[in-house]
Amino acid sequence: HLDKANHLHNHFVVNSVSFLDGKRYHRTNQDYRNMRMVSDRLCKEYQLSVVRQPEQGKGKHYAEWQAEQDGKPSYHSMVKSDVDEAIRKARTEKQFFFYLREKGYSFKFGKDITIRPEGRERGLKLKRNFGENYSLEAIRVRILEENELPAEKKFPVQRHYRIRVSGNFKQTRKIGGLRGLYLHYCYLLGILPKNRPSISAKQVHVLFREDLLKLNTISKETKLLCHYHIDTAEQLFSLKESLQKKTEQCVGERKHLRYKIRADRPEEEIEEMKEQIKV
């Protein structure tokens, strides 16, 4: 079935406890292969595409998959991007790990490389999460291949744009409080232009860049702060309290109107009260 456009998929419904012996179900790799065979058979039967050689690895969380579909960055994609950039810049394996350490990562080695940004409790296994191209041996090969590429392919030409800003900087005033904090935050993230050389957006810690994903929410909150001229937590709580009282008053009025609609009244009055309820 489709739960949204272009997301055709199927489900297997399985008893968690057997009605024969009362044992709990534990899925094995063979169960997975059997399910895949049934799924592939259905796809062929209805002329749908079949994945011939599915890539082994860890399944994606739905939020991460959705972010990729919408073209938005996710925590995993930012880590992957940092690893790819370190591979492009490095000439040796030692330099590769040096660049990652510069970006705020620590790592440990086992069968897989586990990379962890500072501030995160758990790390990510590169090969398990990103595929065969991220095993240590594959990374070594990729570093060698990158060194053989010509400079124009390895480092694309950067484009710069000049933007005119209207207004008089002499009449500007310093913005403090919560609004000022938001502007400072945008400055650190690289959303606002910087007047002096600073750390590039790529070098900002991955956990800090992760907050860019929440930027829409942060922007809405800031519009609220600016609309009501709120600069302190006390002003914010005072606004919240007044809006809650206003909401309770509106809910009471709406409830009263609904009671009035139930009475035997002319159609015109009922329609008028329905409009008042919407308001």
Give DSSP secondary structure letters for 14-47: --SB-TTT-PBP---HHHHHHHHHHHHHHHHHTT
Confidence of residue 254 (pLDDT cuts 50, 70, 90): very high
Structure token digits, residue 264: 């035997």
Mean pLDDT for the chain overall: 79
The answer on 45 and 1 residing in a single domain is yes
Are 146 and 200 found together in one domain? Answer: no
Reading phi first (left if > 0) and then psi (alpha if -120 to 50, else beta), residue 104 is in: left
Side-chain-side CA neighbours of residue 106 (13 Å): 7
- The token pair at 138 is 């594959």
**Domain membership flag for residue 264:** yes
Residue 65 placed within a domain: no
pTM of the model: 0.42
Contact 43, 49 (CB under 8 A): yes
Q: Which of 96, 120, 152 lies at the terminal end of a domain, its last residue?
A: 152
168 located within any domain: no
Q: Tens digits of per-residue pLDDT, 37-59? A: 899 898 888 888 777 666 555 55
Domain match, 254 and 184 both: no
Does residue 48 sit in the same domain as residue 92? no
245 domain-assigned? yes
pLDDT at residue number 196? 47
Residues 6 or more apart whose Cβ sits within 8 Å of residue 231: 176, 177, 178, 179, 180, 225
Residue 247 within any structural domain of the chain: yes
Report if residue 178 sits inside a domain. yes
Q: Which domain holds residue 184?
A: 174-227
- Residue 46 in domain: yes
Report yes or no on 188 lying in a domain: yes
Cα–Cα distance between 240 and 233 in angstroms, integer? 10
- The amino acid occupying position 59 is G
* Residue 188 confidence class, pLDDT cut points 50, 70, 90: confident
Number of domains in the chain: 4
What is the tens place of the pLDDT at every residue in 10-23? 889 888 898 889 88
Contact between 127 and 215 under an 8 Å Cβ cutoff? The reply is no
Tell me, yes or no, whether 77 and 146 share the same domain.
yes
Whether residues 145 and 78 fall in one domain = yes
* Distance (Å, whole) CA 146 – CA 143: 5
Residues 238 and 217 in one domain: no
Q: Are 104 and 142 in a shared domain?
A: yes
Q: Is 165 exposed, middle or buried (0-12, 13-18, 19+ CB in 10 A)?
A: exposed
The Cα 31–Cα 35 span in angstroms is 6
